[in-house]
């Protein structure tokens, strides 16, 4: 059936044991088959070579709308949403996305459900059904998706860049679509959107424009037979590949300075040049080379200078918005208030750095170092979820020859000074576009972008003006980076004496506890280190919380130019403020990890507050708090829910209130006090021996606890931190109404939380099984049928070992109180479905959940996150999966029904619910009318409520800690 098993040698990573085969079907569909006997999830991705660039004029968003519609039904499987239902009930997930020239559809699933899932998936591309009723309903989902994006700066700025380009170029288009473009305007012109949809599908969805990747645990021959059978019927019309003609930016769209008003606080500068697409020279990697240097953060770099001057808090550089025909190189700089006042100097310094690159010439040693880093990264890459893997490869197949389908452009290997020089020459003042974002421009603009309503104005700037900025910019010592000392040279694997499945408590003392887990699964030269500094003083007031936050950000700031080299070399670190202290995480090649850890600990021990950096970080933290109100309404609902449930948490408003008065002296006094009582909880895993792990922790103890003037002392037994959660009263439905913090947001949100109880294997599996069987039904009824909103989800919730369920829905069409009624109506309807469930259906769902639980971790980070959650919650059930699988095997259908009747059923006497209702501006009148009703208890004040409720006991019971 296949035109041929192509003998192309596909380049794969050294440690990759999977088998690959490329085939081409008679209808010209190109396929990559992947056999991985170790996988417990199968996956597939189809990349169709058509995207929103092909939208007909006046039907903006049609390609994206079609992507939505293909999920509904097909001639072979006509029941609406049955594809998604099948995938979900077999432990899988499914999604799709539309880009400029591609639409990608993908799914993953437990192995036993794969064959039928693939058959259902193949129907998207052979005989989909697009009923008139479903078409009208799904336009509302596309509109709701667009509503969600209207106040997002990322979407707004992206569209503004596109808007300021040639109107006859597809880059100029609006990609998402909305009710206006897909319903109102077409109707006014007598155009039937459904007919246009079918026409678009028939004209563009041709097999010769498609690339399929299939990933399973079966042999290549078996997969090949499967694929030939399922995908041979896709029509091939020999449709030509869409190519955008010409460049999106004409001369009038270059040499411009665009001032624009963002939604969020903060100032940003985006400097953009049209360049030759790197895809044409991906082995030479010109944009990668230039992005590496212009985006570098080490000493002597552009960012280092801007940071030293107090003008910038972030900088990135590289190619973006690329296609085969055009591309942009973009430098994005996050500015401070002072930086906003020195914009000409900053642009001058950027061009000065580009001049430095011109004068230095293209450096062979830098290219070779970059190439070596990329090669190590490719050959020792972690396994990722199969669904992500197939999407990446299917996207690559459209652009690269078969041998490079797995590598894409990740392996620059051909040193070509002329190619790099060609792109460097394009980064000139003659064809630059500068976008300057700031709320300070409010009221000073004269234009509005039509799709998102972004205010902006355009000023022409000349190359000679920029040259003047270069000459007048500060005289700073910019230079190329030094050779990278963090590049690992020892990639050998340690010999593990015994195959341990779970972490062991290697050592514990009054200073620390060390959990250790050698790598017995992944065989990569990488390690994971997590250290929690539990400091009771860090969380005892809003001021302490904010000061801890500033402290961690200052630490990262001090380490940046040194540790940036480690990150380039594949050794990542972060220092985060957490409830009750702060956390240091390191992940990457183990060879030089200890060096980085020792440097971090030394910076903690010798911490001093630098006044100029304090001011910059305080300003940055202030903006983060101010921007909290621009979060999506559903995110605000999640925040309020956590604030209500989790004891000892402070509200962002109080933290924002104390920020302005905090000074250098406050932090200088606070840090020694915070560290004076500390307990260190560590998890060390990966390619590291137990004596090395113990030695690392001893080093931390020596520096902080055991020197001549110790910074830290152990905690008193009474000081060990707990994590306690509010126990809602049985038979009570609480609700907390609030206004959306952003008065311009039209979206409202409901979070309907059902509290179930403490971590318990039997109870957990009933909850998980209910979530699995109800998840797709929720989506189908509340989103597909009722179209309440694009964001409609049922998920589990786990607060420090206290389990529950939550419905999260964001909507412009109904107020939160009305959405709540729809959730209750759904639960009443679902009760009937549950009572009608057959034993076979029940067993199928149980088996799907068992398969999900037995799924192996893909990589060290995933495994470590699972074990660390057990440690940080205090539950310490590293063998949780085995026991929950055992509990599932003993579960009966009646057990599930009894669980529903006791905890979930509307009106159940012991049911405990909390509804958080966030009202957007379309539903502000409903907010004013919110009041307690007979069966509903209104929470007026979160903290009064929290104080009046009993708490669940904490699981935190490590050595030296009190179980309260």
Residues involved in catalysis: 67, 138
Query: Which of helix, strand or coil describes residue 952?
Result: coil
Query: Which of helix, strand or coil describes residue 545?
Result: helix
Instruction: Note the helical H segments in 457-541.
Output: 463-472
Residue 36 tokens, joined: 């991985």
- Report whether 94 contacts 83 (CB < 8 A): yes
Beta bridge mates, 275: 327
Phi, psi of 89, deg, nearest 5: -70, -10
Beta bridge mates, 102: none
Distance of CA 611 to the CA centre of its chain: 34
- Report whether 148 contacts 632 (CB < 8 A): yes
- Report whether 813 contacts 141 (CB < 8 A): no
Annotate 362-387 with three-state secondary structure.
CCHHHHHHHHHHHHHHHHCCCCCCHH
The Cα 331–Cα 434 span in angstroms is 10
Phi, psi of 793, deg, nearest 5: -150, 145
Let me know if 365 is exposed, middle or buried by CB neighbors in 10 A (0-12, 13-18, 19+).
exposed
Q: Residue holding tokens 């017995």?
A: 520
**Quick one: which H or E segment has residue 861?**
helix 860-873
The Cα 77–Cα 56 span in angstroms is 29
The Cα 50–Cα 860 span in angstroms is 37
**Quick one: which H or E segment has residue 572?**
strand 571-578
- Report whether 214 contacts 227 (CB < 8 A): yes
- Report whether 893 contacts 842 (CB < 8 A): yes
Q: Which residues of 153-165 are buried (b: 16+ CB within 10 A; e: fewer)?
A: bebbbbbbbbbbb
Q: Which among 795, 959, 797 has a CA at the least distance from the CA of 874? A: 959
Phi, psi of 249, deg, nearest 5: -105, 115
The Cα 649–Cα 641 span in angstroms is 12
Residue 57 tokens, joined: 């004029």
C-alpha separations of 450 from 174, 407, 453, 916 in Å: 10, 40, 5, 34
The single-letter DSSP state of residue 284 is T
**Quick one: which H or E segment has residue 269?**
strand 267-275
Query: Which of helix, strand or coil describes residue 449?
Result: coil
Residue 216 tokens, joined: 């399973």
Q: Which among 677, 705, 681, 704 has a CA at the least distance from the CA of 544? A: 677
The Cα 487–Cα 499 span in angstroms is 29
Strands 526-534 and 512-518 turn out to be unpaired
Sign of CA dihedral 713, 719, 720, 722: negative
The single-letter DSSP state of residue 100 is S
Measured CA angle at 638 (ends 633, 642), to 5 deg: 145
Phi, psi of 11, deg, nearest 5: -70, 125
| DSSP E strands, 151-216 | 210-216
Q: For the chain, give percent helix, strand, coil, nearest 5.
A: 45, 20, 35
């Amino acid at each position: 059936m296949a035109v041929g098993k192509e003998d192309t040698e596909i380049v794969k990573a050294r440690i990759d044991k999977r088998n690959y085969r490329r085939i081409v079907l008679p209808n010209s569909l190109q396929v990559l088959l992947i056999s991985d006997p170790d996988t417990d999830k199968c996956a597939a991705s189809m990349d169709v070579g058509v995207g929103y660039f092909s939208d007909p004029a006046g039907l903006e968003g049609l390609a994206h709308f079609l992507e939505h519609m293909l999920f509904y039904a097909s001639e072979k499987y006509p029941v609406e949403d049955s594809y998604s239902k099948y995938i979900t009930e077999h432990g899988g997930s499914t999604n799709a996305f539309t880009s400029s020239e591609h639409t990608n559809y993908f799914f993953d699933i437990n192995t036993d459900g794969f064959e039928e899932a693939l058959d259902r998936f193949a129907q998207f591309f052979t005989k989909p059904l697009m009923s008139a009723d479903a078409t009208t309903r799904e336009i509302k989902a596309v509109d709701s998706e667009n509503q969600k994006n209207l106040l997002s700066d990322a979407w707004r700025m992206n569209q503004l860049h596109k808007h300021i380009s040639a109107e006859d170029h597809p880059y100029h288009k609006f990609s998402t679509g909305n009710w206006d473009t897909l319903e109102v305007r077409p109707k006014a012109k007598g155009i039937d959107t459904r007919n246009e949809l079918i026409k678009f599908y028939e004209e563009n969805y041709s097999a010769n424009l498609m690339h399929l990747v299939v990933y399973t645990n079966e042999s290549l021959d078996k997969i090949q037979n499967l694929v030939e059978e399922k995908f041979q019927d896709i029509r091939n019309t020999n449709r030509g590949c869409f190519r955008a003609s010409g460049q999106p930016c004409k001369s009038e769209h270059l040499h411009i300075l665009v001032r624009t008003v963002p939604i969020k606080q903060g100032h940003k500068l985006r400097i953009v040049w049209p360049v030759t697409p790197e895809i044409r020279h991906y082995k030479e990697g010109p944009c990668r080379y230039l992005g590496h240097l212009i985006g570098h953060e080490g000493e002597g770099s552009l960012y280092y200078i801007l940071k030293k001057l107090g003008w910038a808090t972030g900088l990135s550089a590289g190619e973006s918005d690329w296609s085969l025909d055009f591309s942009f190189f973009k430098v994005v700089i996050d500015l401070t208030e002072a930086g906003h006042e020195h914009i000409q100097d900053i642009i001058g310094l950027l061009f000065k750095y580009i001049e430095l690159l011109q004068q230095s010439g293209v450096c062979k040693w830098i290219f070779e170092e970059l190439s070596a880093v990329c090669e190590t990264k490719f050959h020792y890459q972690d396994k990722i979820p199969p669904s992500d893997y197939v999407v990446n490869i299917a996207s690559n197949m459209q652009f690269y020859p078969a041998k490079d389908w797995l590598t894409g452009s990740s392996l620059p290997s051909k040193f070509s000074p002329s190619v790099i020089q060609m792109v460097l020459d394009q980064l000139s003042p003659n064809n630059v576009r500068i976008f300057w974002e700031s709320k300070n421009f409010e009221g000073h603009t004269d234009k509005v972008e039509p799709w998102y309503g972004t205010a902006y104005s355009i000023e022409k700037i000349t190359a000679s003006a920029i040259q003047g900025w270069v000459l007048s910019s500060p005289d700073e010592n910019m230079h190329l980076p030094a050779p990278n000392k963090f590049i690992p040279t020892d990639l050998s694997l340690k010999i593990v004496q015994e195959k341990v499945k779970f972490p062991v408590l290697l050592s514990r003392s009054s200073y620390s506890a060390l959990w250790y887990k050698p790598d017995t699964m992944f065989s990569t030269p990488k390690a994971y280190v997590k250290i929690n500094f539990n400091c009771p003083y860090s969380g005892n007031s809003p001021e302490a919380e904010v000061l801890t936050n500033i402290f961690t950000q200052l630490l990262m700031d001090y380490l940046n130019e040194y540790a940036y080299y480690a990150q380039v070399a594949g050794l990542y670190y972060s220092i985060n403020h957490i409830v009750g202290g702060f956390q240091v995480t390191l992940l990457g090649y183990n060879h030089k990890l200890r060096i980085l850890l020792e440097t971090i600990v030394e910076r903690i021990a010798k911490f001093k507050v630098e006044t100029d950096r304090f001011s910059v970080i305080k300003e940055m933290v202030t903006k983060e708090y101010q921007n909290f109100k621009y979060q999506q309404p559903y995110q605000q609902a999640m925040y309020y829910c956590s604030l209500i449930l989790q004891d000892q948490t402070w509200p962002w408003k109080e933290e924002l209130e104390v920020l302005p008065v905090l000074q250098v002296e406050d932090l200088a006094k606070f840090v020694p006090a915070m560290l004076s009582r500390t307990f260190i909880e560590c998890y060390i895993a990966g390619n590291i021996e137990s004596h090395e792990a113990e030695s690392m922790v001893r080093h931390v103890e020596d520096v902080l606890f055991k020197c001549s003037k110790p910074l830290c002392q152990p905690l008193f037994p009474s000081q060990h931190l707990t994590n306690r959660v509010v126990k809602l009263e049985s038979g009570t439905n609480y609700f907390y109404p609030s206004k959306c913090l952003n008065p311009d947001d039209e979206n409202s949100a409901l979070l309907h939380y059902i509290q179930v109880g403490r971590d318990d294997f039997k109870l957990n599996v009933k909850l998980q099984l209910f979530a699995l069987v109800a998840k797709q039904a929720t989506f189908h009824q509340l989103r597909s049928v009722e179209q309440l909103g694009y964001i409609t989800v049922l998920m589990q919730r786990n607060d420090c070992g206290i389990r529950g369920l939550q419905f999260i829905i964001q909507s412009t069409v109904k107020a939160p109180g009305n959405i709540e009624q729809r959730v209750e109506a759904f639960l009443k309807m679902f009760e009937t479905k549950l009572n009608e469930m057959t034993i076979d259906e029940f067993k199928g769902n149980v088996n799907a959940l068992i398969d999900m639980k037995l799924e192996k971790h893909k990589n060290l980070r995933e495994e470590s996150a699972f074990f660390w959650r057990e440690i940080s919650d205090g539950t310490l059930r590293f063998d949780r999966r085995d026991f929950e699988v055992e509990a599932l095997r003993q579960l009966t259908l009646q057990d599930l029904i009894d669980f529903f009747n006791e905890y979930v059923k509307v009106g159940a006497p012991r049911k405990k619910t909390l509804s958080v209702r966030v009202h957007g501006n379309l539903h502000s009148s409903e907010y004013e009318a919110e009041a307690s009703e007979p069966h509903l208890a209104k929470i007026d004040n979160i903290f009064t409520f929290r104080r009046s409720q009993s708490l669940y006991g904490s699981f935190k019971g490590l050595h030296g800690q009190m179980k309260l």
